[in-house]
Amino acid sequence: MIVNKQRYLRSSAWNQFRRIRLERKNVCWISLPALLSGFLVFSLSLGFQHSFAQKLTIQSPNKKLTVSLDAEGPEDQLTWFLRASFHGTGKSTEVIPEIALGLKRSDQDFSKGLRFLKKSNERLITEKYSAPHGKSSSRSNAANEVTIAFENAVKGKMNLIIRAYNDGITFRYQFPGKGGTYVVEDELTSYTVPKETRRWMQKWNPANEGIYTAMSDSTIQLREWCYPALFQTKDASCWYLLHEADLDRTYCGTKLSNKAEGNKYKLTFPDQGDGRGQGASKPVISLPWKSPWRVIIMGSLQDIVASTLVDDVSPPSLVKNTEWIKPGNVSWNYWSSNHGTKDYKIVTDFADLAAEMTWPYTLLDWEWDAMSNGGNVEDAAKYILSKGVKPLIWYNSGGDHTWVPSTPKDRMLTHENRVAEFTKLRKMGFAGVKIDFFESEKQDMIKYYLDILDDAAKFEMLVYFHGCLVPRGWARTYPHLMTYEGVRGAEWYNNGPELTYTAPEHNTILPFTRNVVGAMDYTPVTFTNSQFPHITSYGHELALSVLFESALQHMADRPEGYRQLPDFAKSFLKTVPAAWDETKLLGGFPGKDVIIARRKGDVWYIGGINGEIKEKKQTVALDFLQGGTKYSLGLIADGKHDKEFTTRSAEVDSSSSVDVRLLRRGGFVATLTPINNI
């Protein structure tokens, strides 16, 4: 591993190492944490130095990603850090020059003066698993893993586990001891990002419902930021996304902060005021313990969009039988009628819509407990089921952590409440629950989320979290967790005029950021207007059904919005899946445009949108299709104006390409069906 000379000039070991190096002209310039840990006397042979250097540099199985360990400072203040590199075609780029490491526990400090003890043998991790929903159904991954053992000044032990995957780098901390309960006072993990690096980040808010801001150089803002955060290196050779995964009851969610230093993003615990001040902001851990994975998805934009790394590093499913977990599209009345579920006739109209569109679900949102005008919730459930549709139902998360008084409240708050409510819902035929207003990522709230999922699984209830955190890999462990909000979606057309003008660009950023890490219920595909209008074209709105992945895709428009569509657009929405076998990015750039192809079975669906205020012509290459097979192309694109479509059909194969015209803020969809399947 190459070492930065300036760092070691500051080290107390430097002068001794320099003398040895001058005596041994043939010794490579390498990093020897052994120099800093007291066993220099038996580590001077050239062979040992080469061997040790190799052990401190970990490469991905495909050799494209490298993570290496380094240190700086005097021995009693020594700090350790990682650096991440990407090896593209003919060049190597140092992507993140420094990832600071360390934790401060209430009893001991594991951030400075750590002495290297040993390093495990590198081991290859390979895994294959299936997922009932998401961007791909059959998943495989490979990584090289090492564990490095450290000891602090009072002999406290901490391990660092590092993995280099083909699509990213992950690391986590481990306390191997047994017994004892401690507060984690701070986590020192931080990512140093060169100022020239472009970044797309969302200002921190507990509901994760902000707009992404593009920044670099002089436009960099100092504040706290949500996950995930997207970066592009100055030379444009590499993209990476910062996130975390396998967050469990033993820790809190974190966020990123560069308030102290503009180009250093430090992991930061929740604010004490989150969740109305309920719960502790600092996590309490018991040994043995492992932190969540710190995740850096890395590579091309296609690598970012297709990655399932957040799920890959999370625990396998705890649900043995997953046959009851059925993804699908949902009719939803809140967007068009905020108080729609109070009205039995509106509820039944949306049930009729779901049946007409062959969507499997309809959602009873807030105020279902005040339903009138012809029936109550029991009557509604019976009517919905009679149409061959399954009902879903909303709940306030309850408790003192939320200021929202909307009822029913508290019925999800305790194990006893949940068991009683899930028992009733099963008898009434409900398939799942939407639970809202969590407002915190403190440790107590993480426990609450997971307790809900544990109980819901016992009753075979699908779960949708709203007003919540962004995904942390839980959908792999709890596959009945179908989707999350955690996004500024179409609901914001009801909250003010802002989304009217920001949505076109915002929609082109989400496939590269928020939707990469897990299901995202944007509540898309609206053709009419709610309280504030949208300026995206009909083609743009139709494309969101493919671009945005959510195992429960809540189609947000009112029934007449879908009923007035031409038959070809309705037919598309009747058949578009909510879960996919494969995902490929075909083109795009955050804030400008995006084209994604997703496969279900043998049929490919393509969605593309333009986020800019100028018309574009896109040429879509179909080289991802299976060779030697002819496909029937069905294209629905923008017409002469925003509310008009054009259609085209053709016979194509993997050598073909399709030219598509997109209006300003426009879009298109396409289907590609093997000829022998028609």
Domains in the chain: boundaries: 1-55, 59-312, 329-486, 497-513+522-550+577-678
Q: Is the pLDDT of residue 401 over 80?
A: yes
Q: Which helix (H) or strand (E) holds 187?
A: strand 181-187
Q: 385 falls in which pLDDT band (50, 70, 90)? A: very high
Q: What is the pLDDT of residues 579-615, one digit of tens each?
A: 999 999 999 999 999 999 999 999 999 999 999 999 9
DSSP secondary structure letter of residue 626: P
Q: What is the pLDDT of residues 459-487, one digit of tens each?
A: 999 999 999 999 999 999 999 999 999 99
Q: Is the pLDDT of residue 325 over 90?
A: yes
Helix spans in 397-497 (H)? 415-428, 443-458, 474-477
CATH architecture, range 497-513+522-550+577-678? Sandwich (2.60)
Q: Is the pLDDT of residue 390 over 70?
A: yes
The listed CATH number (3.40.50.1980, 2.70.98.10, 3.40.50.150, 2.60.40.10) that belongs to domain 59-312: 2.70.98.10
Give pLDDT, residue 8: 37
Strands (E), 616-675: 616-621, 631-638, 645-652, 657-662, 667-674
- Output phi, psi for 405, to 5 deg: -85, -5
Q: Is the pLDDT of residue 134 over 60?
A: yes
Q: Is the pLDDT of residue 90 over 60?
A: yes
Q: Is the pLDDT of residue 497 over 60?
A: yes
Contact between residue 479 and residue 319 where contact means Cβ atoms under 8 Å apart: yes
DSSP secondary structure letter of residue 177: -
Radius of gyration for the alpha carbons in the chain, expressed in angstroms and rounded: 26
Arithmetic mean of pLDDT, 220-246: 97
- Output phi, psi for 385, to 5 deg: -65, -35
Arithmetic mean of pLDDT, 83-92: 90
Neighbours of 211 (CB within 10 A): 15
* Of residues 285, 251, 271, 183, the one with CA closest to residue 443: 251
CATH number for the region 329-486 comes to 3.20.20.70
Contact between residue 588 and residue 301 where contact means Cβ atoms under 8 Å apart: yes
Q: 35 falls in which pLDDT band (50, 70, 90)? A: very low
Q: 295 falls in which pLDDT band (50, 70, 90)? A: very high
Task: Give the helix, strand, coil percentages of the chain, each rounded to 5.
Answer: 25, 35, 40
Give pLDDT, residue 13: 38
Give pLDDT, residue 677: 67
